[in-house]
Amino acid sequence: MDIYQCIKDLTGYGLETGLISEDDVIYVRNRILDILKLDSYEERPEYSGAGLEEILKGILSFAYEKGLMEDNGPVARDLFDTRIMDCLVMPPSFVRKKFYELYGEDPKKATDWYYKFSCDTDYIRRYRIVKDIKWKASTEYGELDITINLSKPEKDPKAIAAAGKARSSSYPKCLLCAENEGYAGRINHPARENHRIIPMELAGEDFYLQYSPYVYYNEHCIVFNKEHVPMKIDRTAFRKLFAFVTKFPHYTIGSNADLPIVGGSILSHDHFQGGNYVFPMAVAKELRSFKVKGFEEVECSVLKWPLSVLRLRHRDDRILTELAGHILDKWRGYTDESAFIFAETEGIPHNTITPIVRMRDGKYEIDLALRNNITTEECPLGVYHPHNELHHIKKENIGLIEVMGLAILPSRLRDEMSLLKEKILSGASLEDDEMTEKHADWAHEFMKRRGDINKDNIDACVREEIGFVFMRVLEDAGVFKQTAEGQEALKRFTDSL
C-alpha cells in the first residue's frame, strides 16, 4: 500500500469530479498530509484511476497502522475518512452560490448539480447505496417498491460499548439540525464534515435542503426547519409543502404525521422528505370522486390504496391549503365507533394526516393519508400498525416513505431469506434455526399454496411473497379498509366534510 499514490489518487479524483481545480491541488494535498501526520510528500507520476472506495480503504489502512484511529471498526473508519474527504469540499458559501446560480437558469439544473456534488463528496456513499436490494412487487393496488436496506452502516459491538461510555452531548441537538454542517462527529454521532446544506424560505420561515445520506429512492431529499421545533401538521405545514413544489416542481414532497406510532423517527424537528421519484401511490387508481361544499371547483377523489387516501387537485395552492386544512380539522375530531375510529381516548388525540404534495399537468396535487395511532391491549403497538404475524418481515412504524408505497426493510432479511431458500430447497426444517424459525409459518403457508417451488423460481417466489407481506402491512395501517364496510365508513367521513 503506497500512501503517496493514495494521496495522488484522491486529488486526481477531486479534479476528475470537479470538487477541486488545479489551483487547489497543493493546498488539498497538504491538508491531507497534516491529517495523516506526514511532514513530506513523494510525488507519483499519475492518477491511477482507482475508485473512491479503494482510495479511501488505502488511506484508512495507513491511518490504522500508524495509530491515527482508535480502532478499525466501521464507526471509526467513517469518522476518519469523512475528515479526509472534507479536504476536497468547498465551504458552504461557495456551494450555496453555485446552487442558486444554477437555480436561476433552471431548478432542475440546481438539484442535479447538488445531488452529484453530495455523492462526489462521499456524503452519499454511492458504493454502499448500490448494495441495497431492490425490486417491484405486483399487487392489486399496482406495483409496490421493495428495498432491503444495506447501505446504512450497523454499529459494531466495540462502537456500541464505546458510545455507552461516551460523554453525552446536546450539540447538535439532533441529526437534522443545521449545526451538523461540517461537524466532525463522535462515536455516537455521525461525522458531517463533508456535508453542505442549502438555505431557502418556505411560507415565511427559514428552511434548509439536504439529501439523505442513505438515499432510499432517487434524489431522496430532506427539507428541515432552521429551528429545532417539533413536527406539526396544520395549514402552515401545507403552505410550506406547496411552497417547496412551487420552487422545485420536478420534486415530490411530503411530511410524516405528527403523532407517535404513525409519525416518523424524528418528531422533535420539523422536516419534510421528498425527491425526484414517482412513488407507487402517485399512480394509484381513483376509486370514486366526491365534492366538498364550498370547494366545488376542487377535484377530490378516494384512491384505491391499502391506506385511506384522499386526493385533491387544483391550480390554486391557496384553495387546496384551505380545503386540506378543513379536512384535517374534521379528521382531528372525527369519531366513528362502528369503524373503531376514535378521535381521542382519555384526552389523548389519535387522528392525524400524512400529506404528500406534487405538481402534475400544471396543477397542484395533495394526497391526504388518514392516520390513527390508537392502541389496545391486543395491539399495544397500534391498531393501525403492522400486526404481529407480519413482524418477521416488518415491525417498524409506517412512515411517509412506506405510505407512498416504498418498503424499507431491515438488512437482516438478506441473510435470513438466503438461508430460508436453502432450507426450502433442501427440505430441511425451518424451525431448528433462529434465523428461519420466525419465518416458518409464513413459508409453510406459501409453499403449500404455490406447490412447485424449485431452484429456478424460488428467488421470484420469495420476492413476490415479501411484496404481499408489505401490502398487508399497509392494509393494517389503513383506517378504512378496502372492503365494502370499510369504504362505506369512509364515505360517511367524506359526506361529513
| pLDDT score, position 168 | 63
**Element at 298 (helix H, strand E):** none
| pLDDT score, position 267 | 87
- Residue 108 CA to residue 113 CA, distance in Å, equals 8
- Residue 303 CA to residue 290 CA, distance in Å, equals 11
| pLDDT score, position 169 | 75
- Residue 430 CA to residue 441 CA, distance in Å, equals 9
Joined together, the cell numbers standing for residue 240 give 410550506
| CA nearest to 379, candidates 305, 478, 489, 476 | 476
105: which residues sit within 8 A by CB, 6+ positions away? none
- Residue 240 CA to residue 213 CA, distance in Å, equals 23
HSE-up (13 A, CA, CB side) for residue 276: 14
| pLDDT score, position 165 | 52
| CA nearest to 113, candidates 121, 102, 124 | 102
| pLDDT score, position 70 | 86
- Residue 36 CA to residue 468 CA, distance in Å, equals 51
Q: How many CB atoms lie within 10 A of CB 67?
A: 8
Q: What are phi and psi of 116, to 5 degrees?
A: -60, -40
- Residue 439 CA to residue 64 CA, distance in Å, equals 41
Q: What is the DSSP string of 349-407?
A: E-EEEEEEEEEETTEEEEEEEEEE----SS-TT-TTS--GGGTTT--S---HHHHTTEE
Ordered per-residue pLDDT tens for the chain, 497 residues: 799 999 999 999 999 999 999 999 999 999 999 999 999 999 999 999 999 999 999 999 999 999 999 899 999 999 999 999 999 999 999 999 999 999 999 999 999 999 999 999 999 999 999 999 999 999 999 999 999 999 876 555 454 455 445 566 789 999 999 999 999 999 899 999 999 999 999 999 999 999 999 999 999 999 999 999 999 999 999 999 999 999 999 999 999 999 998 976 688 999 999 999 999 999 999 999 999 999 999 999 999 999 999 999 999 999 999 999 999 999 999 999 999 999 999 999 999 999 999 999 999 999 999 999 999 999 999 999 999 999 999 988 899 999 999 999 999 999 999 999 999 999 999 999 999 999 999 999 999 999 899 999 999 999 999 999 999 999 999 999 999 999 999 999 999 99
Joined together, the cell numbers standing for residue 70 give 482508535
Indicate the DSSP class of residue 457: T
Q: How many helices (H) and strands (E) does the chain have?
A: 16, 15
pTM for the model stands at: 0.94
Burial label, 135 (beta-carbon count in 10 A; 0-12, 13-18, 19+): middle
